[in-house]
Structure 1
């Protein structure tokens, strides 16, 4: 049996708890873009992808 994935609401709750300021769909898109662009498996990928230089 394959492991179950977390619910979207669980991911949103975890993101808010970590103060990420991004929803689960935003995190999914950012991770897909990061990996498709050749980004490595690093712990701080959200900071690298979701950084706002403004």
Structure 2
């Protein structure tokens, strides 16, 4: 193996690692954002239910 082959393999190893880490962080950011949206919707639904219960009592 000469120096050119070693550099080529090193560059592609770094490139593959960079792509996998990019995909990992992309998926992680999408997964982390989802619960906050569902919590927000859940809080809004709780508020609507409370208002409807108050309206029924009147």
Q: RCO higher in 1 or 2 (8 Å CA, sep ≥ 6)?
A: 1
TM over 0.5: no
Structure (1/2) with the larger helix percentage: 2
Q: Which has the larger radius of gyration?
A: 2
- Using the size of structure 2 for normalisation, the TM-score is 0.29
